[in-house]
Structure 1
Amino acid sequence: MLHLRAVCPPASTERALAVLREHPGATHLVLFAGAAIDPKGDVLEADVAREATDEVLAALCDLGIDRDGGITLEQIDTSLSDAADKAELDAPGDGADALVWEELVARTGEESRLNATYLAFLVIACLLAAAGVITDSAVTIVGAMVVGPEFGPLAALAVGLVCRRGDLVRRAGTALAVGFPVAIAVTAGLTWVGGRVGLLDAAAISGDHDVDFVYQVGVWSLVVAVLAGAAGMLSMTSAKSAVLVGVFISVTTVPAAGYIGVAAVLGQWGKVLASAGQLAVNLVGIVLAAALVLLVRRRVPARNRPLSRG
């Protein structure tokens, strides 16, 4: 279940109470009259079954509470209550399958911001990938896959496309368009320094290696990207975050970016192009699959639809 708190203008309180009282998926309703200071108003709290949350949010937003007051949601880890059990039983659908669109938009929006932390993780991931390429270490490549933060902007891009949220599309696109070139440039720079001090030469990526799969783009690259994108979006929309680790390990976005930096410095331009192709195929495949999952979930069931607000 989710804990809902709403700051209501006094004029909207009775109608908001009616929404929460009448919905079978809401329970533990509490009113703190006049408790809100900024913005001024009443505070309503309730526990809402996950599968009922979108419907309740839509009704409250129709009252203008999101504009004149505020609504917050928090995950409830443990609830010992017959009333809560009844609310979950009475609410239509299954909590594990429920998609809370506002929660998804907020989460992907936060994870797609271009900031120092995002850039640091992406640079570190690409450097790990470069180290894996140079040392022919598949284990290090896997580590780079796990560290990479790129699924956040990719998921936000899919959400933005499906929900027609231009702000999300622009934010995610900027994070990807700036993040990868910066990470590749830093990787190339440090690779060049390594070459100057004698730590590596062209032989590092010549011949056959265990990590050659990083730049070997083909049909299966797209297949894996599509499956990973679908699994990743299902993970995000069902709150099964542990699955995301498996998604990161399955795609070669960050390893391909790291390989570009190493191969460019060592003059292996064929592998630069192949790695760039691998990166592009993975990025496009993930976004398309994630968007398709959202389109399907947007229609089945119909009540779990994104709210349209400005």
Structure 2
Amino acid sequence: MLHLRLIVPADRTDEVVRTVEQTVGTTHLAVVPGAARDPAGDLVLCDVAREAGDDLIAALRTMGIDETGSIAVENIDLSLSRRADRAEENAPGEGADAVLWEQLADATHEESTLSVTYIAFLSLATMIAACGVVLDNAILIVGAMAVGPEFGPLAGFCTALVRRAPKLAWRSFTALIVGFAVAMAVTVVFSLFMDATGLFTEAKLDADRPNTGFIYAPDWFSFVVAVLAGAAGMLSLTSAKSGALVGVAISVTTVPAAANAAVALSYGDVQQTWGSTEQLLLNLLGIVVAGTLTLLIQKFLWAWQRERTVRKSA
């Protein structure tokens, strides 16, 4: 279930209440007249089944409530109410399959913004991965992949393609390109410093690395894993199962590939630099393709499922 907290201009309250009441899957409707001060208006509260939430939010935005008032949405972890159970039963479709497009767009908008924090996390992850590739340490590689925040812009780009949102697409693309460029530049400087202190050596980079050698030798398995991870990541976002994102992060070698390319570049190793860059681009492509297709399939299946449910109830 979702909990909606609406601030509504007093002259629009009756219209909003009718919209909520006419939406199948809503319950626990409450109106507190004159409770809001900034902006001034009435406070309208209601619960809605997740599978009906997207329609209700879209209807409220069409009415302009997000501009004249506000729409706040929260996930309800526990709701002990027979009315809530009945609302979920009446709502078409299954809550686990529902995609809240407004929530997804908002989440990916925040995660795909180029910021100092985003660049810092990506740079730190790349430097950790640089230590991992030089030492051929798989634990450091896994840790670096978990720290890397690059899935946010990738998810934003996929969402933008499906929703045809050029601004979000450009913001996500910029965050990816600028973020990796800065992270790799910082890692090159870091690698030169580590070499000057004797902690990094070219011999270690060129040595046989059974645990991390695959990073600069891309193949079809790299693309297949990226596709699977992209699909899993997008499902995790749309189903609000964020715990799965950790597994997605440590499934693809975007950050380690960027790190290996940066270290190899600092030593002038063109072969490893190019191979690692191919690995990076292949992973990014696989995630974008899979993420976009996953959203399109979810959109189609959700529409089909709802239509089927409505036909059965008719």
- The two structures have a TM-score, normalised by structure 2, of 0.94
Matched-pair contact (CA < 8 Å) for 1:229–1:286: yes
Give the superposition deviation at 1:300: 2.0
Identify which range, 73-82 or 150-159, moves more after superposition: 73-82
Show CA shifts across 1:46-75 (max 9, x none): 011111101111222222212222211011
Alignment partner of 1:12 is 2:8: no
Query: Where in structure 2 are the equivalents of 1:281-292 lying within 5 Å?
Result: 281-292=282-293
Identify which range, 4-13 or 271-280, moves more after superposition: 4-13
Within 1, Cα distance between the matches of 2:62 and 2:147? 41
Letter in 2 for 1:222: F
Matched-pair contact (CA < 8 Å) for 1:298–1:304: no
Cα RMSD (Å): 1.4
Aligned length: 305
Query: Where in structure 2 are the equivalents of 1:133-144 lying within 5 Å?
Result: 133-144=133-144
Within 1, Cα distance between the matches of 2:213 and 2:88? 50
Where 2:153 maps in the other structure, the secondary structure is helix
Letter in 1 for 2:172: A
Matched-pair contact (CA < 8 Å) for 1:55–1:303: no
Within 2, Cα distance between the matches of 1:59 and 1:77? 24
Q: Which residue of 2 aligns with 1:67?
A: 67
Letter in 1 for 2:25: G
Q: Which residue of 2 aligns with 1:230?
A: 231
Give the superposition deviation at 1:304: 9.5
Where 2:303 maps in the other structure, the secondary structure is coil
Q: Which residue of 2 aligns with 1:203?
A: 203
Within 2, Cα distance between the matches of 1:267 and 1:77? 54
Show CA shifts across 1:241-286 (max 9, x none): 1111111111000000110111111221100000000000111110
Give the superposition deviation at 1:78: 1.2
Q: Are the structure 2 counterparts of residues 156 and 194 from structure 1 closer, same or farther at C-alpha, using a change threshold of 3 Å? A: same
Within 2, Cα distance between the matches of 1:22 and 1:164? 29
Q: Which residue of 2 aligns with 1:57?
A: 57
Where 1:159 maps in the other structure, the secondary structure is helix
Q: Which residue of 2 aligns with 1:120?
A: 120
Query: Where in structure 2 are the equivalents of 1:235-254 lying within 5 Å?
Result: 235-254=236-255
Where 2:250 maps in the other structure, the secondary structure is helix
Q: Which residue of 1 aligns with 2:191?
A: 191
Within 2, Cα distance between the matches of 1:266 and 1:290? 35
Letter in 1 for 2:102: E
Q: Which residue of 2 aligns with 1:213?
A: 214
Alignment partner of 1:162 is 2:162: yes
Matched-pair contact (CA < 8 Å) for 1:100–1:304: no
Within 2, Cα distance between the matches of 1:85 and 1:146? 37
Within 1, Cα distance between the matches of 2:60 and 2:183? 43
Q: Which residue of 2 aligns with 1:100?
A: 100
Where 1:302 maps in the other structure, the secondary structure is helix
Letter in 1 for 2:229: A
Q: Which residues of structure 1 form unaligned runs of 5+? A: 306-310
Within 1, Cα distance between the matches of 2:179 and 2:87? 44
Matched-pair contact (CA < 8 Å) for 1:6–1:70: yes
Within 2, Cα distance between the matches of 1:105 and 1:62? 16
Within 1, Cα distance between the matches of 2:54 and 2:95? 12
Q: Which runs of 4+ in 1 moved over 6 A?
A: none
Give the superposition deviation at 1:168: 0.9
Matched-pair contact (CA < 8 Å) for 1:297–1:304: no
Q: Which residue of 2 aligns with 1:177?
A: 177
Matched-pair contact (CA < 8 Å) for 1:7–1:69: yes
Q: Are the structure 2 counterparts of residues 304 and 280 from structure 1 closer, same or farther at C-alpha, using a change threshold of 3 Å? A: farther
Q: Which residues of structure 2 form unaligned runs of 5+? A: 307-314
Show CA shifts across 1:182-241 (max 9, x none): 111111101101111222221111132121011111111111111110110011000111
Where 2:171 maps in the other structure, the secondary structure is helix
Alignment partner of 1:132 is 2:128: no
- The two structures have a TM-score, normalised by structure 1, of 0.95
Identify which range, 54-63 or 285-294, moves more after superposition: 54-63
Matched-pair contact (CA < 8 Å) for 1:133–1:259: yes
Letter in 2 for 1:233: M
Identity %: 51
